[in-house]
Structure 1
Amino acid sequence: MAGEWTKYRIEEVAERVAMGPFGSSIKVETFVPEGVPVISGQHLHGFRLDDTPGYNFITPEHAERLRNANVQRGDVVFTHAGNIGQVAYISNTSAFNRYVISQRQFYLRPDQSKVLPEFLVAYFRSPDGQHKLLANTSQVGVPSIAQPVTYLRSLEIPLPPLPEQRAIAHILGTLDDKIELLRRQNETLEAMARALFKAWFVDFEPVRAKMNLPSPPGRGAGGEGTTKPKLPPDLLDFARELRTRMTDAEALLWRLLRNRRLAGAKFRRQHPFPPYVLDFYCHEHRLAVEIDGGQHNEEAGRRHDARRDAFLAEHGLRVLRFWSHDVLQQTEAVLEAIFQAIVEHRLPSPPAPLPGGEGGKLPSPPTPLPEGEGSWGALGADGVWHWPQHILDLFPDRLVESELGEIPEGWEVGVLGDVAEHLRRSAQPDRIEPDTPYIALEHMPRRCISLADWGSAEGLESNKFAFRQGEILFGKLRPYFHKVGVAPVDGVCSTDIVVVAPKNSHWFGFVLGHVSSSEFVEYTNAGSTGTKMPRTSWADMARYEVVLPPEPVAEAMTQLVQPSVERIIAAIHESRTLAQLRDTLLPKLISGELRVKDAEAFLKERGL
């Protein structure tokens, strides 16, 4: 029990407590494409440091000049000004070994023979810990903790023995891990839906499959297998050495690819493929991913890469290359490109017709699956994606010219407004119940249709738009932020959000695919008005040109996508329930009101 736990001052269990740099030490002009990442408040939302938002970087030399603000795995980071009360620790699986905190943060390096960083974070996120942490705050101007380093050192906290700290951290970590697993599941479901939309309505893959045409340039599965060379011992040794000195970009990408985290594909790191060692390799999809530093942009580097890529192509491998700074700063875009390459390998890409006089007869079309066997189709032993017969029957076997280029025969060029509408249900603040879910732009993540965060309508003073679960929300202010999502609840939203819905429910998958696409966001951004606060409008959005399929095709897409969207919404609600459970258990565990064994039994009963 907590009453039996020994109390310690932070200075007794910390190796170091230190402030971030002065504001003038890190400026926009000091940022570089790659180097040492700078932590900001957006990385401190959870128990663990969140690497997903990406970072600004400073040079290692600059970081060394700020060595007192350098943090590492195992350190606990706090915010002392602005969004005070934030606290997270840098886990052993973080994307980087070394970071620099920003000027509004300070950190604690615990003596892990006395206290675990996970327990410290759990304590300072509990009501008792938050009360102590914020007791010395000033609300004049920007909220801040006065003399944060001196004050934190003086705080006294109850500490159980290390085994009990570890058990408490494990219980809370189990819930956090489940929440993270649901988030990744939603990412995969969204990526699969996006890939299917692109295959049907951008690249017209089923049409090309019926025509025996190759995929559009740059697509396709690559070669037809290869012999496995015997690996020279010295190459194996070199590969093992490379694994021990991965760059920050390689370490981040490996963390995201390992354990089949992306589309279920198994990647290997530093994989020998004589006479080369590939940064990342997926044998199932014959895909090599290479991370290039600055030396690859020199003439000798470009020539070497060209020879290497040609060799790999001769052996049936596809090669994706990314600059290391893109991996670190535009991680989502890099993952999207890799995901598309994986999915495209599963989609139909039969060989091109032979030139006249070279074989004569065209290869047979891919064999369709019997109706009902796999709604998305399946990858056959021949390496070709086999669409179910009822899907193939929806598509023509011919492409025709249009003002938008080649489109399937019988399809038409139209605009988004032909099949979608803006639902302007005005909601006056005095008629909105205080507990009504409220979504503002700050609740919407970038490039993610999963809207897992919302507030309440209590205190709203201006008119809002009402929306219903399943409708599409598009952030029209600064549209380049790419804030588009599917409403997980009924509620109200800011008038800077456009509520979009299909005119007919059959068109939901088609409308969602377009409105959430990068191409559509780029279109709205190009036409937005206003210099400092650019906005788009539904009038402009509705004029976006699209290729309109017959309604049965749109309906089939919705039938495939709708279950994924429903799973995403269900996972959002499950995650919020788990977070509420974690936040309920947290103070009880920290105070000793709830014993570890009772908490473990409680979670076991719920299958956690």
Structure 2
Amino acid sequence: MSPEWRETKRGQEITLEYGKALRGYSERGGAVRVYGTNGPVGWTDSPLANGPGVILGRKGAYRGVEYSKGPFFVIDTAYYVVPKSNLDMRWLYYAIKHHDLGGIDDGSPIPSTTRAAVYPRPLAVPRLQEQRAIAGVLGALDDKIEQNRRTAAGLEKLARAIFRAWFVDFEPVHAKAAGAKSFPGMPPAVFDSLPTRLVDSELGPIPEGWRVGPLRELCDLSKEQVTPMSHADELFDHFSLPAFDASRRPVTEPGFGIKSSKFIVPPGCVLISKLNPRIPRIWLPGESVGRRQIASTEFLVLQPKAGVSRERIYCQVGETSFLEALTQTATGTSNSHQRVKPQDFMATPVIHPSVTASGAFEHQVIPMMDRIQQMSDESRKLAELRDYLLPKLLSGEVRVKAASDEEAA
């Protein structure tokens, strides 16, 4: 620690304020983000606190740390941080992440982070200008990651909208039946090949010449497993439910830290969680970066058949009507632990459009998904750089020049 930094206790610098109960936040709209113990959980209309702010999970196995630039609401499973002195809130966010306050466990049956455990912990506080400089370096990396996330979300939304328009709502077919000579975004030759009427099927009316068949006609289930503990010193990229929920990026872990067998993730596959299909968790794994990729056995590993792209599978299994069908077949002891049986999943009926229409869809969507993957790879590298710099900057091992120092030079 730098001798210029002030040594203090966290309880002298901050208070942890309890969130409040709130109903309907996951369904309602609104401009204010709602946070719970493991991160964002919904939206509401009125904030509990003005931003910028820091949210710390209070209860549960995973207790996250979040930063909100704007006004926010915190429910009663989390704290929000109120500084007692003049602290840069984004620096404080990184200081809390660096010291893993969300990992403190009071030993109760439900893992919890308590004020009594947090307040006595030491904290080294640099001058405000240096706090801002540290937050600026780390924040720039996180801002670029967030920008990539937003762009990727927009591209994915567009890909799903094309899938829905062509293969669920049949908008081009309806347009042709109404006398249209073309459809926006669809190649003329593909549009010309479309039928002009719908016929009955088990899924309702579908375009003439298309058919309904089980999902297993499009992909296979890959079930090859590995026991990471048998490769104790090997590093694995682990696709788990907590990793999906936290960042949609796999976590790199050594074999000795992974207690159970996992599915091997083959190239070109799609992962979808069989747990609680009403909460879609669907992954397009990126290319391996020299480590074996593995997935929780809570995922189904879908390997597209020859002539079928994984982008088409990804959009198909993420379609609302498909997920609703899965929800109807799920079974379990409670609403929070509903699972779909693999055989039921693969038997779910889907629409098989013409080869021409499928090929045109893939031609449009694959470049979008490739771009999403490129941004994901970039964000992974940025996150690795941030995680490398975080302990060095927060400990004073690496110093950054504050703005006032530059102005005085």
Question: TM-score scaled to structure 2, two decimals?
Answer: 0.80
Aligned residue for 1:462, secondary structure, equals coil
| Residue type of the alignment partner of 2:366 | Q
Query: What residue is the counterpart of 2:321 in the other structure?
Result: 519
| Residue type of the alignment partner of 2:125 | P
1:17–1:109 contact (8 Å) kept in structure 2: yes
The structural deviation recorded for 1:429 is 4.4
Which residues in structure 2 correspond to 1:250-261 (within 5 Å)? none
The structural deviation recorded for 1:439 is 1.8
The structural deviation recorded for 1:165 is 2.4
The structural deviation recorded for 1:194 is 0.4
The structural deviation recorded for 1:176 is 0.9
Query: What residue is the counterpart of 1:185 in the other structure?
Result: 151
| Matching residue within 140, 144, 151 for 2:120 | 151
Q: Matched residues in 2 for 1:462 and 1:84: separation?
A: 19
Deviations 1:478-513 (A, max 9, x none): 222222221224522222211112212434343222
> CA 1:56–1:41 in 2, change beyond 3 Å: closer, same or farther?
farther
| Matching residue within 23, 36, 53 for 1:31 | 23
Larger RCO (alpha carbons 8 Å, 6+ apart): 2
Aligned residue for 2:303, secondary structure, equals strand
> CA 1:203–1:18 in 2, change beyond 3 Å: closer, same or farther?
closer
Aligned residue for 1:535, secondary structure, equals coil
Larger radius of gyration: 1
Query: What residue is the counterpart of 1:396 in the other structure?
Result: 194
Which residues in structure 2 correspond to 1:257-336 (within 5 Å)? none
The structural deviation recorded for 1:119 is 1.9
| Matching residue within 327, 352, 362 for 1:548 | 352
| Matching residue within 275, 290, 294 for 1:477 | 275
Q: Matched residues in 2 for 1:496 and 1:172: separation?
A: 34
| Matching residue within 559, 568, 586 for 2:372 | 568
Q: Matched residues in 2 for 1:516 and 1:184: separation?
A: 19
Q: Matched residues in 1 for 2:279 and 2:375: separation?
A: 24
| Residue type of the alignment partner of 2:250 | D
Aligned residue for 1:54, secondary structure, equals strand
| Residue type of the alignment partner of 1:454 | V
Aligned residue for 2:145, secondary structure, equals helix
1:507–1:555 contact (8 Å) kept in structure 2: no
* 1:508 and 2:305 are equivalent in the alignment: no
Deviations 1:61-81 (A, max 9, x none): xx9xxxxxx644244444466
The structural deviation recorded for 1:386 is 5.7
| Residue type of the alignment partner of 2:124 | I
* 1:580 and 2:377 are equivalent in the alignment: no
* 1:426 and 2:230 are equivalent in the alignment: no
The farther-off stretch of 494-503 and 30-39 is 30-39
Query: What residue is the counterpart of 1:198 in the other structure?
Result: 164
> CA 1:473–1:150 in 2, change beyond 3 Å: closer, same or farther?
closer
Deviations 1:305-350 (A, max 9, x none): xxxxxxxxxxxxxxxxxxxxxxxxxxxxxxxxxxxxxxxxxxxxx6
* 1:453 and 2:257 are equivalent in the alignment: no
| Matching residue within 188, 212, 230 for 1:413 | 212
* RMSD (CA atoms): 3.7
Q: Matched residues in 2 for 1:441 and 1:79: separation?
A: 18
| Matching residue within 124, 147, 159 for 2:96 | 124
The structural deviation recorded for 1:547 is 2.4
> CA 1:203–1:56 in 2, change beyond 3 Å: closer, same or farther?
closer
| Matching residue within 227, 240, 262 for 1:464 | 262
Q: Which residues of structure 1 form unaligned runs of 5+? A: 44-50, 64-69, 214-349, 351-364, 367-383, 600-608
Q: Matched residues in 1 for 2:105 and 2:276: separation?
A: 34
Deviations 1:343-372 (A, max 9, x none): xxxxxxx6xxxxxxxxxxxxxx24xxxxxx
The farther-off stretch of 451-460 and 136-145 is 136-145
Q: Matched residues in 1 for 2:225 and 2:66: separation?
A: 40
The structural deviation recorded for 1:172 is 1.5
Question: Aligned residue pairs: how many?
Answer: 389
| Matching residue within 171, 177, 191 for 1:211 | 177
> CA 1:462–1:39 in 2, change beyond 3 Å: closer, same or farther?
closer
